[in-house]
Structure 1
Amino acid sequence: MVTLPLVLVLGLLALGLVKWGKQKVSGVLVGIVFGLALATTAVGPPILHAVTAASKTVVSAISSAVP
């Protein structure tokens, strides 16, 4: 399951890339369509699981480093 904060972060990143001229709107739309297509295949869930595990590891590392 993709959480709302992850979607917001990725949306803000895409908006920033368009605003700063690093990416065109068409490229962002292609990325969205590709992501939706990938999510409907058998490859999508393992990728999502890996991203979720990595993000939990990063959050855990940051949380343990802060007193």
Structure 2
Amino acid sequence: MITAPLFIIFLLVAFGMVKWGGTHPGVLAFGAVLGLSLASTTLGGPILDGIETGMSAALSAAANIAGGAR
């Protein structure tokens, strides 16, 4: 499942890629279509679960480094 913070991160990366010349909007739209088609297959679930687990681990590690975890 795509969570709101993950969507915001993807949106910021996409905006930065277009603004600073990394890619064109059409390429991002094509990537979004491919991503949606992949998400509708049986491979989409495990990939999204892996992304969510990775993001949770990264946020937990950042909180531990910052001293926020008690």
Identical-residue share of aligned pairs (%): 36
Please, what TM-score do these two structures have when normalized by structure 2?
Answer: 0.88
Matched, 1:48 2:48: yes
How many residues align? The count is: 67
Q: Larger relative CO (CA 8 A, sep 6+): 1 or 2?
A: 2
Matched, 1:25 2:25: yes
Task: Supply the RMSD in Å over aligned alpha carbons.
Answer: 0.9
Q: Gaps (5+ residues) in structure 1?
A: none
- Given residue 37 of structure 2, which amino acid in structure 1 is its aligned partner? A
Distance in 1 between the 2:11 and 2:36 partners?
Answer: 14
Runs of at least 4 residues off by over 2 Å: none
Please, what TM-score do these two structures have when normalized by structure 1?
Answer: 0.91
Shift of 1:56: 1.0
Matched, 1:58 2:66: no
